[in-house]
Amino acid sequence: MNQLDTAAVFAAVFAALWVAHTVGDHWVQTSVQSAKKGQHDRNPGQSSRVGRLACTRHVVGLTLTKVLLLGLAGVVLNLPLTVVGVTVGLGLDAASHWWADRRSSLAWLAKVTGKTEFYNLGTGAHPVHPVTAEGKPAAHIGTGAYALDQAFHAFFLFLAALIIAAV
């Protein structure tokens, strides 16, 4: 396969993974998974079983969505995908997604990169959080945590698409 062909495969794979990501992260993920995937037990020494299981179920559903849509694109577009490339690419993507969606890890990454204030944007933890005229928290469109979460996932989708196209 020449460089132009590899670039075209990368573009098709990335497009399929991006659509699958948005569908899997927003439509396939259940409300329970979303609410509990970042849960950590408060008692030191105890496991975060409920949170880990919710996050694992979410990532399994998300990854299956990616396999289905990538498979559909592969068949319709006759993409030269390999089992090794897809396995390694989606494996990296799934592991990174699970890590970030446990929430404390992404909050830590925001802290060590100087992004804590942006991470807290749109929440009561932000120094200029949105409030109503009565001083109560106001509704908003999104949060910095969500924006950083999606940017983190997009970076790993990019890496996964590179791996899938090149292997």
Residue 160 CB burial class (10 angstroms; 0-12, 13-18, ≥19): buried
* H-only helix segments in 102-143: 104-112, 116-119
Q: Which two tokens stand for residue 58?
A: 């979410």
> Based on the structure, what is the number of domains in the chain?
1
pLDDT tens-digit series, residues 62-83: 999 999 999 999 999 999 999 9
pTM of the entire predicted model:
0.86
- Over the chain, what is the mean pLDDT? 90
How many Å separate Cα 18 from the centre of its chain? 10
Q: What are phi and psi of 157, to 5 degrees?
A: -65, -40
pLDDT in tens, the chain (167 residues): 788 799 999 999 999 999 999 999 999 999 999 999 988 876 655 558 889 999 999 999 999 999 999 999 999 999 999 999 999 999 999 999 999 999 889 999 999 999 988 888 776 666 656 666 676 766 666 788 899 999 999 999 999 999 999 99
Kindly list the distances between the CA atom of residue 112 and the CA atoms of 100, 109, 146, in Å, as whole numbers in the listed order.
Answer: 14, 5, 17
List the domain range (segments joined by +) for residue 39.
3-166
If you ran DSSP here, which 8-state letter would residue 131 be given? B
Does residue 148 contact residue 106 with C-beta atoms inside 8 Å? yes
